[in-house]
Structure 1
Amino acid sequence: MTANSSSLRSRSMELLMLYQRDRSIKLRNQLVQLNMGLVRKIAHRISHQCVEPYEDLEQIGYLGLINAIERFKPDQGCAFSSFAVPYIRGEILHFLRDRGSAVKVPRRWQDLQKEGQRARMRLTREMGCPPNEQQVAEALGISLTEWSEVSIAIKNRLPLSLDATVQQTDSSITLGETLPDPKYFINQHLEEDRQQLQRAMSQLEDKLRTAVEFVYYSGLSRKEVAERIGVSPMTVTRRIHRGLDQMITFLQVQPVPTDN
């Protein structure tokens, strides 16, 4: 992680804390500015799988980002980027569903899908059993994340109505009824992030951890913290910055779950 990236993450975390106490448009706009890269990354990835212009997807993505900012609660111990991704992706995908856009599969992914089928047959013969997705990806020389994206894109070249029947029985169900509750995945990410955040906190020196906990978990001002622990407000600010920087560095080396 670069020093600039670390500084941006630290600043974003501070602004999110402030926004819980002062929900001003100015603070919200600052948070949007700091997290524009997240929206652009998601919009760029999805733009390769549909016919809508990237610029339109980016603008819709910002609506999802704002929704995430409004709903984010720092005291839940969650990294904002992990919390925001489902909202940004969801807003864009809802837009595509409403537009009824067909999925556009890049030629390279079409070629990879064909190579993957051949690789799967070859590995089955060699191993005596079907390979898993990781083994197929390794045989193609690509990451598991990209191979998953290829497979999903190929399966979803044409949009399906959520009202389409997927089970012909006495009690038929629709495709929409089979979809998992998005809140489950959000809560799952929240719990994973909470645990990672707790591990990061445990790595800090006592004086750094105390400053961070008093300000961000107890809601005390820097002046109140300074009076409580017997140092100057400037010292409290320096300890918070050092603590956040160290936590971000620690979190950066943790495995990041994919959004497949």
Structure 2
Amino acid sequence: MHTSAANELKSESLELLREYYQFPSAELRNRLVQLNLGLVRKEAHHWVNQCTESYEDLLQVGCMGLIRAIERFDIAKGHAFSSFAIPYIRGEIQHYLRDKGSPVRIPRRWQTLQHQATMLTRQLQVQLNRQPTDQEIAAALEISVAEWQEIKLAFRNRAPLSLDAPMHEDDDSSASLADLVPDNRYQSFQLAQEDRIRLQQALVQLEKRTREVLEFVFLYDLTQKETAERLGISAVTVSRRVKSGLKLLKKIMVGSSS
């Protein structure tokens, strides 16, 4: 899609969302679903290669997630609707697959490449004295950057979000994402569907660099030192952003659950 067409779509979507926010109606909601169907198609296309369900079924389920996002979107908060909607769409599809017991399968070729990537990453870390970029890993694997990113996403989607990941290399090591969603029912440290969505939406609202720091430290289990190297900032800055970011996240999430 050309940039001008994409901008027109965004602007039309925003206008309708503003209207829907003031005067909700089924007609407006259906128009918003049609306008943003591309987001659902993209997610359905990603998941159809990893499960036994049909593309049409995944599309239908994803649309339910899109409708929930339309109903919950707060235009006053000022963040992009697409960033807000994707976790709802993805969450709805994942929830459906889990309920149906549909095994998420990863192609054997990707499993082999992921295994090779783990070893290559260690070698490159030693050679380069830093975390290798996606481009460097893809080149070493002799595949495109796009395919490497698809592989990473497939494995990340399959793994539970790490709630109990501690803050590495820090005196204040007790802080974890579990503190943000305290609920005794989830002893496995796997986020409940609603909490996962709330957490992703809260992350979207943070300033980009702070969000990246929190994602690296807590979601990808990198140490603060590795995070600093990857982002090209000091470990002290990472530590400071982790603390301020967690404080902000807690504030946003407590507000969103009340």
Common fold by TM > 0.5? yes
* TM-fit CA distance, 1:95: 0.4
Check whether the contact 2:120–2:137 (CA below 8 A) recurs between aligned residues: yes
**Is residue 146 of structure 1 aligned with residue 150 of structure 2?**
yes
> For 1:18 and 1:148, how far apart are their aligned partners in 2?
38
Structure 1 residues 6 and 130: alpha-carbon distance in aligned structure 2, compared to 1, 3 A threshold: closer
Equivalent-residue separation in structure 2 for 1:68 and 1:148 (angstroms): 26
Paired with 1:8 and 1:118, the residues of 2 have a C-alpha distance of 43
Which of 162, 174, 182 is 2:187 aligned to?
174
Matching of residue 186 in structure 1 with residue 198 in structure 2: no
- The 8 Å contact of residues 51 and 104 in structure 2, kept in 1 or not, is answered as yes
Stretches of 4+ aligned residues off by more than 6 angstroms: none
CA 48–66 in structure 1, closer or farther in 2 if over 3 Å, else same = same
How far, CA to CA, are the matches of 2:112 and 2:14 in structure 1? 42
SS in 2 for 1:174: coil
What's the CA shift for 1:115?
Answer: 2.9
Contact 1:61 1:89 in 2 (8 A): yes
Q: Which runs of 5+ in 2 are unaligned?
A: 161-183, 209-258
Preserved CA contact (<8 Å) 1:51 1:101? yes
Q: Which amino acid aligns with 2:205?
A: L
1:73 aligns with 2:74: yes
Distance verdict in 2 for CA 1:51–1:94, change over 3 Å? same
Q: Which runs of 5+ in 1 are unaligned?
A: 160-170, 194-260
Note if contact 1:16-1:31 (Cα within 8 Å) is conserved in structure 2: yes
What corresponds to 1:250 in structure 2?
Answer: none
2-side partners of 1:192 and 1:61: how far apart?
28
User: Residue 47 of structure 1 contacts residue 57 of structure 1 at CA under 8 Å; is this kept in 2?
Assistant: yes
Residue 85 (structure 1) aligned with residue 86 (structure 2): yes
Of residues 75-84 and 114-123 in structure 1, the stretch that sits farther from structure 2 once superposed is 114-123
Q: Quick one: distance in 2 between partners of 1:126 and 1:85?
A: 37
Structure 1 residue 39: deviation in Å?
Answer: 0.3
Classify 1:7/1:130 alpha carbon distance in 2 versus 1 (closer, same or farther; 3 Å).
closer
Q: Residue 205 of structure 2: SS of its match in structure 1?
A: helix
Distance 2:122 2:14 in 1: 48
**CA distance in 1: counterparts of 2:13 and 2:43, whole angstroms:** 19
Contact 1:63 / 1:88 at 8 angstroms: preserved in 2? yes
Change (3 A) 1:124 1:77: closer
State the shift of 1:66 in Å.
Answer: 0.4
TM-score w.r.t. length of structure 2: 0.59
* Mapped partners of 2:22, 2:123: distance in 1: 59
- Kindly state the Cα deviation for residue 132 of structure 1 after the two structures are TM-superposed: 5.4
Task: Please report how far the alpha carbon of residue 119 of structure 1 lies from its aligned counterpart in structure 2 after TM superposition.
Answer: 2.1
Q: Name the residue aligned to 2:15.
A: 14
1:53 matched to 2:62? The reply is no
Q: Which residue of the partner structure matches residue 30 of structure 2?
A: 29
SS at match of 1:61: helix
Single out whichever of 181-190 and 43-52 deviates more from structure 2.
181-190
CA distance in structure 1 between the partners assigned to 2:76 and 2:61 by the alignment: 28
How many aligned positions are there?
177
Per-residue CA deviation, residues 186-206 of structure 1 (Å, 9 max, x unaligned), is 11213448xxxxxxxxxxxxx
Alignment-mate amino acid for residue 12 of structure 1 = S
Q: Distance in 1 between matches of 2:39 and 2:14?
A: 15
Using the aligned pairs only, state the percent identity: 44
Alpha carbons of structure 1 residues 124 and 78: separation in structure 2 relative to 1, 3 Å: closer
Matches within 5 A, 1:110-125: 110-120=111-121, 122-123=123-124
TM-score after normalising by structure 1: 0.59
Shift of 1:33: 0.4
Q: Which residue of 2 aligns with 1:256?
A: none
Q: Distance in 2 between matches of 1:150 and 1:66?
A: 25
Residue 147 of structure 1: how far off its partner (Å): 4.2
- Between 1 and 2, higher relative CO (CA 8 Å, sep ≥ 6) is seen in 1
Pairwise CA RMSD = 3.0
1:150 positional shift: 4.6
